[in-house]
Chains A and B, each alone.
Chain A
């Protein structure tokens, strides 16, 4: 068994590596969909819905010595809280626990490096963008941050392109790294509540995703089960809110100082 590279900082040992462990067949050509817990748990709810509605098969997990010492049980089987699922040309990464703010960069690097090494065609990350008047918005608007301007054609009218602003957290780091590695990446950010699970925003994000992929993802069940999802996701939302505060998520709502 190969041991992860270690970097000694004072008396604290920091593992450099977050590892992607493959357990099943990864498609030769695929789009990677990321559903990490974030604003409104939009990504987690949307990605979980894709996994269940497309009956995706578990093909891997994300592991690290630095993650909190926990597993999750599903159908009596112990699993990593961060897993990969695949079906056809789609691979979905879902994290069903809050990501510690201190591990954001390691996780983002590991996901992008793995996607590049497996020749992913596109990386699409799904997240939320908190708006104060979310309660009064019937159909949340979806925005997209792109790793490259040439992706505007692929995006079409699925979302409005974000031109200016900050993205705090794993998705921002992943988008930048993808741009540097010339791996096409789209980050979909949907208007949502900040610290309440938002299935309606997840449904809006999935409608945009359907357009980008040319694949219909039915969201009526997601909307019908909205109250159940909001209650079930309540505890993950609380943990995620704590981590968002630690990483300074509120800076996303500030205006960049430099102008062209």
Chain B
């Protein structure tokens, strides 16, 4: 029960901060972190009755260069190095500097998950991670 209460409070705060971020959207909210040379990837979370399926879009990534960590039962960290350096110039944008060598994401899970039993696959440039739910 106390876990449920904490979860509820966290969700309310999370929603609040997302709202603040939306209202005060700044020039660095797009997920291209030039200082860290990392891109925040697009991801999707599907919650099932017994497991959570997380997918992450990782174009230009070598599957051997992906690391997945579960630092807490409601958080997953994804780090992935790109096969080559990516610049804005590659995409026709010449007024912005910056080069990118990795994707990095710290993803909050909507329900608690277990690291043991976690499986992953990389196909079509998409990482799929399946984690059992902590029930």
Residues on A facing B (Cβ under 8 Å) = 132, 134-136, 193-197, 200, 226-228, 230-232, 234-235, 237-238
Contacts and interface: CB of A to CB of B under 8 A. Distances in A.
B124 A135 contact: yes
B60 A135 contact: no
Interface in B1-54: 30-31, 39, 42, 44, 46
B42 A237 contact: yes
A96 B128 CA distance: 28
17 contacts: A135-B55, A135-B123, A135-B124, A135-B128, A193-B126, A195-B44, A196-B57, A197-B57, A226-B59, A227-B125, A228-B90, A228-B91, A230-B59, A231-B91, A234-B31, A235-B31, A238-B31
B78 interface: no
Interface of B: 30-31, 39, 42, 44, 46, 55, 57, 59-60, 86, 90-91, 123-126, 128
A235 B30 contact: yes
Contact of A136 (B57, B59, B123, B125): B123
A252 B31 CA distance: 29
B124 A200 contact: yes
Contacts of B123: 135-136
Given A132-B46, A135-B128, A195-B42, A230 B57 contact: yes
A77 B79 CA distance: 38
Given A195-B44, A237-B42, A231 B86 contact: yes
B42 A238 contact: yes
B55 A232 contact: no
A232 B128 CA distance: 22
A229 to B, nearest CB: 8
A232 B42 contact: no
Contacts, number: 47
A196 B46 contact: no
A136 B90 CA distance: 29
Nearest to A235: B30
Given A227-B59, A227-B125, 19 more contacts: A132-B46, A134-B124, A135-B124, A135-B128, A195-B42, A195-B44, A196-B42, A196-B57, A200-B124, A226-B59, A227-B60, A230-B59, A231-B59, A231-B86, A232-B91, A234-B39, A235-B30, A235-B31, A238-B30
A5 to B, nearest CB: 32
Contacts of B57: 193, 196-197, 230, 234
Given A135-B124, A193-B126, A234 B42 contact: yes
A195 B123 CA distance: 16
Nearest to A75: B92
Contacts of B31: 234-235, 238
B91 to A, nearest CB: 5
B45 to A, nearest CB: 11
A103 B55 CA distance: 30
A132 B45 CA distance: 11
A194 B91 contact: no
Contacts of A135: 55, 123-124, 126, 128
Nearest to A232: B91
B66 to A, nearest CB: 15
Contacts of B126: 135, 193, 196
A255 to B, nearest CB: 19
A194 B30 CA distance: 19
Contacts of B46: 132
A90 B86 CA distance: 35
